[in-house]
Structure formats: structure tokens, C-alpha cells
A and B are shown apart, each in its own frame.
Chain A
Amino acid sequence: MKILVAVKRVVDHNIQVRIRPDGSDVDIAGVKMSINPFDENAVEEALRLKERGLAKEIVAVSFGTAANQDVLRHALAMGADRALLVETEAQLQPLGVAKLLKAVVEREQPDIVLLGKQAIDDDAGQAGQMLAALLGAGQGTFISSLNIEGDEAIVTREIDGGTEQIAVKLPAVLTADLRLNDPRFVKLPNLMMAKKKPIETLNAAELSTDTAPRLKQVKVSEPPARKPGVKVGSIEELIEKLHEEGMLS
């Protein structure tokens, strides 16, 4: 079984992004970038399937500029077998990502595509479902466990108010929730070894897909701030305030 894992390069989750003075976008120049945490869960799960003898080959793919080599190296250092960088300067949106992934799937013919349930920059949470649609495949989204039985992926999905178990025929698209696993730490020797593994590079134009952005960002802004609060000195004062607000009636 072959697994394709899609990894996105995003602003590290510990960084508080700043808005450009003209409000046109966020300013991420010189900011620390990392693999999208949910995609790291996806890589980890693929590795576990391989370690359990269920998967044979793990291919990591990322879309972007040469800078994206760092997240692919991270996936290789974790244990992915090979990596594919599809180079594009375009501002990719979820539908464009899904179309590029579809082209990669047609080339690689994986049994499972694993990716994060959302990226922590645009927080859209769409690419996996869109890819499944374009492939005519079944989808298992927001998964917190994965098993393979016969020609099906048996997954637990995190839904509002509980979890759900479904079986999805392979080939399938699965999106990882954070509780799917704890990604392993990358050890330095592995990172050094990963530097020797080749990263195959393709130009997005070779995949002849329509990746033009469909949504136009008009501006970015600070979210409305909450009005400053007060510190209360005691439980009694807190209860008095809550009564005044009508919260305890």
C-alpha cells in the first residue's frame, strides 16, 4: 500500500502574526515557518501504518517555492520514503490545492491520501474534502483513529458531541485531527540523513491544473477587541458582579 501525505508550510503556531501597515495582508517576511501541525499528524499516522506492515511506501508532497523543502525534509526526517515538491509562486487556495493534489494522485496512484484537517494559517479546512470529491473517492475527515481492514479504512471521526466510526473504501482521502497521534520528535541524525534523500521537483505548470485564486482578499484587520475587564478581589465581589449582569438569575 502506498500513502501520499500532503504537507503545508505555515507560520509556526507559536508566532503571533502581524498585519502589514496597509492592511493588505499579514506580514510573514522573516517569520519562523513550520510544517502544519495537522499535516505532521498525517505523516505520523502514515509512518505507523508502515511500521505495522500495512503500508509500503510513504510519499510526502508540498506545493510552493523552494522554501518548502524544509517541511519536506521534516517529513523525510520523520521517516517518509521520498518527497515531491511541486513548485508554484501562486497564492494557492483550497480548491487549487485539491486540483494539484488530484494531479499528483493520478501520477502516484496512492491507496490513501492523508492530510491535516485544516491548516493553521487560513483555517479553511476544505482541501481534503475537495480532493475526495475530485477523485470520486470516499472521505474520512477529522479522524482520531485509523485501521485498515481488507479494502476499507476504518476511522473514528471527531464530530460535535462525540465521535463516529465509519468505513471508507480505498482509495480514500483521510484528514487528521490532532488526537490521531503524537508525532515523533525528529532526531538530529535523522535530519542529517534526510538531507541526503532526494526531493523530486516538478513545476506546477507541468500538472496543467487551474490553480488561479477564486477568492479575493480585500483586506485584513485586527479582530474586535473585548472591552477591558476588571479584576475582582473576592468570590463575593464576583458573585455581586454576576448578579448585576443578570447572569445568575
Chain B
Amino acid sequence: MSVLILAEHDGKALNPAVNHAVTAAQHWGTPVHLLLAGNDTNVIAQAAAEISGVARVIRVDAAHLEHALAEDLANILVAIGRDYQVILGVHGAYARNTLPRAAALLDVAMVSDAVEILPGNTYVRPVYAGSVYSTVQNDEAIQIITVRSSRFKAAGLDGSAEIVTLDAPPAFGKSRWIGRTHQHSDRPALGSARIVVSGGRSLGSAEKFDAVLTPLADKLDAALGATRAAVDAGYAPNDIQVGQTGVVVAPDLYIAVGVSGAVQHTYGMKDSKIVVAINQDPDAPIFQVADYGLVADLFDAVPKLTAAIH
């Protein structure tokens, strides 16, 4: 029996978090297969085959798979899933959409957002916005789990997996893709950036959010993040929200600017290696998770910090 990873990609490249999922998959000590579903996955499959520890890349190409609709991805997992001991995905929108659907079709429970995999099909996962860790044992015949990729190292790139192709099940047909809006810039992706500069409601407006944080992020080649309060106030787009209901990040350096530090936010950044907090309120809870705290007016401190970095 093997482990199957639902490998997320955007039609051009694999999500780098898949490399971390491959490391998580080594836990079972059985062959690891990557499922690559899309419209033309040839180039991505070549790259996927180079990930160390992957034995097989399964390509499923069909026009109706181009936009990764959950119904169609789940049907592939149902078609081949019973041959696997474990079906694993990265805890992001892609797998969170598809894996619960596949689990129900296979009539097995699922474990979301595992931060640790223990012997005996036992997992540690955050609950209550990460303020509590729950250890759960899953006795299902097929283990379906999403993992928090930042908790697992990236696998190397000296593999040489076989690449096989599989016919796609017919299109489900009840969902139709219309379009996608990328709010992207040339910044590193939030989920995999080495440095994240994140702003809270204290920034006061979308203009100030941009004027204060963008130069610092530019200088550090950092991704921008935001709290839910800042997003709800319209200062920042929703896809950069860090926290319980947004993206979970674990960069080397997380700079929280004007962030109070509600648990719903710290859920999404507590695994960062170094946390810097700049906040005027010395009692802000963010200082409890910060390695380096600076009590200062952010409008004064951040431009000075930006200017001082070379």
C-alpha cells in the first residue's frame, strides 16, 4: 500500500508546498505517488518526478480538469483511492475543497490541518483557532489528511520517479469554471515567502497601508500580509489575510506592523521563525509571540526601519 498526494499546481508549476507534503508522506515508509490532474501536465510532471522520495507521478489529463473543480478531482480520487493507505494534501484551498468530498464518497473521516503525524495513525491538529492542540486517532482504512506544510521540511530534488498516465473519469458536469482574479504582483507568494510584512487596522487606510508597508516589503523582497481587521476595513485584499480564516504562513521573518495579536491572527503566523512586532500599545498581545518587540508609532518607525535596511 502506498501514499497518494493530491499535488496542487496552477497549470504551470507545482505549488512548492507539495515538496513539504512529500516529506510528511515519508512517515508511512511506503511508496509515495503524486496525483497530477490538469489539462496539460507534461512539463509539471517532469518537475514533479524530480522530487526526492516520489516513486510515481500519475498524470490525468483532460480538458475538463484544467480548472481543478473539486467534483472532478474527487472523482479521480474515488476511482483510485481504494488502492492507497493514505491520501494526503497540503492544507490550502485546493485540497480543502476536494479532499472532504473524496472522503465522503469513500465513506471515511478526514483529518484537517495536521501539524504533526505520530505513529499509529495519530495526528496533532490545532482547534479553537490554534489555542488548543487536539491529538486524534484515525482508524479508517484510508487515511485522508491535509497537512500544514510549514511543519514539514521540503523534500530534495534528486528523485527520478516513473511517470504514468491515467484516463480521466467523465466530467461531473454540474459545475462550470468562469474565471479567476489574481491580485498578484511580482512579490513572492505569501504562503512560501521567506519574509512577510503584515499590517493591522492601525494602518488606518488602504493608502497608508500601501504607503507604509510596500516600501519595506520591496526592500526585503517580502510578501505582504494583513489581519482580518485590516482586510475587513478594506485596507488590504482578502487573499493576503493571515490567520484562522485566511492563510497560514511560517516564514523565516514575520514583521507585524500595527497588529494587535488576536488569537485568530496569531494562529496563522505562530510558526514563523522570527517574529518582529511594531506597535504603539505596549500591552498588545502580539508582543507575547514576538521575538523582538518595538513599542513605537508605526508611522514613524517603519519608514526609519525601511531607510536603515541596506
* B177 near A95: Cβ-Cβ < 8 Å: no
Q: Which of A170-223 contact B (CB under 8 A)?
A: 172, 177-179, 214-223
Contact: B308 with A235, CB < 8 Å?
Answer: yes
Q: Mark A119-156, 1 if CB is under 8 A from B, else 0.
A: 01111111111111110011111101000000010100
| Distance of A117 Cα from B122 Cα, bound (Å) | 25
Closest Cβ of chain A: how far from B246's Cβ, in Å?
Answer: 9
Which A residues lie within 8 Å of B292 (CB)? 229-232, 238, 241-242
- Count class of interface residues, chain A: 35 or more
Q: How far is the CA of A216 from the CA of B71 in the complex (A)?
A: 28
Given A138-B172, A165-B180, A123 and B128 contact (CB-CB distance below 8 Å): yes
Given contacts A13-B264, A232-B294, contact A167 B305 (CB under 8 A): no
B63 within 8 A of A: no
Known contacts A219-B135, A231-B294; A166/B175 CB under 8 A: yes
- Tell me, in angstroms, the Cα distance from A98 to B122 when the chains sit together: 23
A235 and B301 contact, Cβ closer than 8 Å, known pairs A130-B104, A132-B101, A229-B275: yes
Q: Is the CB of B180 within 8 A of A164?
A: yes
Secondary structure type dominating chain B contacts: mixed
Number of interface residues of B (CB under 8 A): 91
Map CB proximity to A onto B182-200 as digits: 1 under 8 Å, 0 otherwise.
Answer: 1110000111000100000
B residues within 8 A CB of A177? Answer: 245
Given contacts A163-B239, A247-B274, contact A220 B122 (CB under 8 A): no
When A129-B104, A133-B104 are in contact, do A94 and B110 touch as well, CB less than 8 Å? Answer: yes
Residues of B within 8 A of A167 (CB): 175-176, 178
**Known interface pairs A129-B70, A130-B100, A167-B176; A162-B135 also in contact (CB < 8 Å):** no
Residue of B nearest to A224 (CB): B133
Does the CB pair B101–A220 fall under 8 Å?
Answer: no
State in angstroms the CA–CA spacing of A160 and B138 once bound together. 28
**Cβ 8 A contact of A220, one of B69, B135, B175:** B135
Check A126–B134 contact: CB distance below 8 A: no
Q: How many whole Å from A122's CB to the nearest CB in chain B?
A: 5
Say whether A245 faces chain B, with CB atoms less than 8 Å apart: yes
Also in contact, A216 and B136, with CB within 8 A (given A179-B238, A231-B294): yes
Contacts of B296 in A (CB 8 A): 235
Which residues does chain A contribute within 8 Å of B294, judged by CB atoms? 231-232, 234-235, 238
B245–A178 touching, CB < 8 Å: yes
Chain A residues with CB under 8 A of B289: 226, 229
A26 neighbours in B (Cβ, 8 Å): 127-128, 132
Question: Could you give, for residues 220-245 of chain B, a 1 whenever the CB lies within 8 Å of some chain A CB and a 0 otherwise?
Answer: 10000000100110000011000011
Once A165-B179, A235-B305, A247-B274 are accepted as A-B contacts, the answer to whether A141 and B97 lie under 8 Å apart by CB is yes
Would you call B112 and A123 a contact (CB within 8 A)?
A: yes
Binds A, one of B36-44, B53-61, B88-96, B155-163: B88-96
Given contacts A161-B182, A216-B137, contact A139 B96 (CB under 8 A): no
What are the residues of chain B within 8 A of A16 when measuring CB–CB? 131, 263
Are A248 and B309 within 8 A (Cβ)? yes
Measured in the bound complex, the distance between the Cα atoms of B304 and A245 in whole Å is 20
Q: Does A93 touch B at the CB level, under 8 Å?
A: yes
14 A-B contacts, Cβ less than 8 Å apart? A26-B128, A126-B112, A134-B104, A161-B190, A164-B67, A165-B179, A166-B67, A214-B109, A217-B134, A223-B130, A229-B292, A236-B308, A239-B309, A247-B253
Instruction: With A130-B103, A215-B136, A231-B282 given, name 11 new contacts (CB 8 A).
Output: A126-B103, A132-B71, A132-B101, A164-B179, A169-B174, A218-B137, A221-B135, A226-B270, A238-B276, A242-B276, A247-B253
Which A positions have Cβ atoms within 8 angstroms of B? Answer: 11, 13, 16-17, 19, 26, 38, 93-95, 98, 117-118, 120-134, 137-142, 144, 152, 154, 157-169, 172, 177-179, 214-223, 226-227, 229-232, 234-236, 238-239, 241-242, 245, 247-248
- Sorted nearest first, the 8 A-B pairs with minimum C-beta distance are A214-B109, A130-B104, A129-B100, A126-B100, A138-B174, A133-B104, A165-B178, A159-B93
